[in-house]
Amino acid sequence: MDILQLIDRLEELFNDAKAVPFTHNVVIDEDRMLEIIDQMRIVIPDEVKKAQQILSQRDRFLAQAQEEADRTIALAREKAEQMAMKDNIVLEAQRRAEQILSQARADAEATRRDADDYIVETLMNLQSQVEKTLNQIQNGIRAVQDEQMQKGISTSPPSMSEKIMK
């Protein structure tokens, strides 16, 4: 089960809650809520692992892009040297080598930007999901605490004088 399904279940639990008259409080099935929260505690580390996997994929992707750029640059230099040996096309070889180097650098930079954009978008989505989950958890906790406070008010414990008399 993923985090979004758990959030949906928590929201459904909240929507099914009974309203306490004349308050903004609701009564929620504590066992069901705690079960969902326990499942969230299990799933959230998995979501963090996924984010770490994405980051390591990004690093591998960037390393591959750098290797490819280095190979392209080495090939460009090699070609440039070969072309420079020929008298008639020395200037053309230098121009072409610079063009290949420039293109390789531009390609490598575009690949890095794409990878960074993908990572930022993925992490922002994950952050949004985690913040939403945290907000819902906090709301659930507040609701349970409010319910507990309401129970404490309506069934107040015996006063100190009542305890002494017993």
Instruction: Residue 15: name the closest of 145, 143, 152, 147 by CA.
Output: 143
Per-residue pLDDT reduced to its tens digit, 93-140: 788 889 998 998 898 899 889 888 888 888 898 899 999 999 999 999
Domain extent for 14: 3-145
Identify the three-state secondary structure at position 51: helix
Secondary element (H or E) of residue 32: helix 30-84
152 within a domain of the structure (yes/no) = no
55 within domain boundaries = yes
Domain total of the chain: 1
The answer to the question of residue 161 being in a domain is: no
Could you tell me the CA-to-CA distances from 30 to 25, 96, 150 in Å, in that order? 14, 72, 15
Question: Helix 90-154 to helix 3-15 angle, to the nearest 10 degrees?
Answer: 30
Q: Is residue 48 part of a domain?
A: yes
pLDDT digits 0-9 by tens, 8-42 = 999 999 999 998 999 989 999 889 999 998 888 88
Q: b/e string for 50-62 if b means 16 or more Cβ within 10 A?
A: ebeeeeeebeebb
Is residue 165 one of the residues assigned to a domain?
no
Distance CA 85, CA 93 (A): 9
116 within 8 A of 13, measured Cβ to Cβ: no
The alpha carbon of 26 is separated from its chain's Cα centroid by a whole number of angstroms, namely 31
> Is 154 a member of any domain?
no
Q: Determine, yes or no, domain membership for 156.
A: no
Residue 80 is assigned to a structural domain of this protein: yes
Per-chain mean pLDDT for the chain:
85
